[in-house]
Amino acid sequence: MAKPLLLLPLLAAACFFFLLASASASAPPVPAAATYTPATPTHPGAAAGCYPRLFAFGDSLIDTGNFIHYSTAPGPVARSPYGETFFHRPTGRWSDGRLIVDFVVERLGFPYWTPYLAGKTKEDFRYGANFAVASGTALNQLLFRKKHLNVGGITPYSLGVQIGWFKKVLATLGSTEHVERLGFPYWTPYGANFAVASATALNQLFFRKKRLDVSGITPYSLGVQIGWFKKVLATLGSTEHERKEIMARSLFLVGEIGANDYNHPFFQNKTLDWVKPLVPQVIRSIGLSLETLIGLGAKTLYVPGVFPLGCVPRYLFLFRNSTSAAAGDLDPATGCLRWLNDLTSHHNNLLKAKLAELRRAHPGVSLVYVDYYGEVNDIVSAPTRTGFAPATVLDACCGGGGFHNANFTIHCTEPGAVQCTDPSKYVSWDGLHMTEAVYRIMARGILDGPFAMPPIMSRCKKY
């Protein structure tokens, strides 16, 4: 039986659509300086024989500024208090401070990444690149259009597009002239970021075919990000042999991707029965992108699952009138939406099965599942163990007030928003994205374990 959705007017859903991809027409332009914060590495990872470079794909969990570079009206992420905790200004990161990938590059010994779309010189790719785009999806926009979904908020830069970016770059790093001839931007040192906020696994066309409003769906799906990666790959070696060597010695972080493929339809009042059939298609899209990277020579890929969506304050607010503990909708241990976490677990189980299938097909490739679900669930289940307050563990630090401070008719940056005094005591930053404090813990789980086995740092000596 389909779970009933809160019957919000479609216009309201579109206007305040998924903070990952919100684009306020009144938002001031973002100064170029706000998109890149250089920093001196604090950990000698690269010098100590760790991975020489990292390539990342995904959505707003690791987007360090791609979204605000392609968007003409980037919305709240371009304004304070985003970035206040660490950078002390907005940087294009959908949090109060650093993201998971920032902590990873710190440990690898790299400066903080400039986003791929803001890159300026070929030297950017010496240490890898980040193609993640907030609002990014696994499926592309066309598939959503076919389902008659509004794709206005769905970035066109799906995972497949991000892979395409990578391919082009990998083919062109031979010389500056080669980059100029192909019309690529120049990138600044130490990599670029391919992640885009609100990115999906599926592309916009998929959602359009489903008759879904895509106005809030970024066109930069996973497929688009793969396309970006191909561009980067082209710049790294002048021969196929060189590029294969680069791929074999590089670390790949593919995801989290897929959450936005479910968020976009749910926020357009689609039912669970409508959304659940998307899961196998999302997993297939992720699998195809992994196959592409493996085909290009990737040997070490870390693939995170989706975190528990049922614990996201925005969802708890959305379903506040159609959810009850008596009906078994809420998990008594956490207060999270049980049925939505079941959907998330379904996605993660299919993803783990897909990784097992790929391991059998490619025995020389290491595909490591990263348990973001387990990490966040542990925090929410026992918040005091990690320094969070039980009374507010499901509340947004900065939000529009109301239930769980997650009223999405008022954005975190707007007049009337309610902001906490200490983000480090909160799990959720703005009702959809998490705080730096949580991302630090999640990064530790992938770097040192136990939520990725083997953890990244355990492999460093081989490089």
Q: Which residues are catalytic?
A: 60, 430, 433
Residue-level pLDDT, tens digit, the chain, 463 residues: 444 444 333 333 333 333 334 333 333 333 333 333 433 344 444 435 689 989 999 999 999 988 888 777 788 999 999 999 999 999 999 999 999 999 999 999 988 877 788 776 667 677 788 888 888 889 888 888 888 888 877 778 888 888 888 887 676 554 333 334 334 333 333 344 556 566 667 676 776 777 777 666 667 777 878 888 887 777 777 688 888 888 999 999 999 999 999 999 999 999 999 999 999 999 999 999 999 999 999 999 999 999 999 999 999 999 988 877 777 899 999 999 999 999 999 999 999 999 999 999 999 999 999 999 999 999 999 999 999 999 999 999 999 999 999 998 999 999 999 999 999 999 999 999 999 999 999 999 999 999 999 999 998 865 4
Among 396, 420, 410, residue whose Cα is nearest residue 313: 396
Instruction: Tell me the C-alpha distance between 345 and 291, whole Å.
Output: 23
Question: To 10 degrees, what angle do helices 159-170 and 278-295 make?
Answer: 10
Beta bridge partners, 146, equal 209
Q: Distance between CA 58 and CA 253 in Å, rounded?
A: 8
**CB-CB contact of 68 with 74 (8 Å):** yes
Residue 46 main-chain phi, psi, to 5 deg: -65, -40
Taken as a whole, the chain contains a residue count of 463
* Closest listed residue to residue 57, CA positions, set 256, 230, 246, 260: 256
Q: What is the pLDDT of residue 403?
A: 96
Query: How far out from the chain centre does Cα 331 lie?
Result: 26
Rounded CA-CA distance 439/74 in Å is 22
> What is the tens place of the pLDDT at every residue in 284-308?
999 999 999 999 999 999 999 999 9
For 363, phi then psi, to 5°, come to -65, -20
What does the pLDDT look like over 127-161, one tens digit per residue? 788 888 888 889 888 888 888 888 877 778 888 88
Alpha-carbon distance of 340 to 185, in angstroms, equals 41
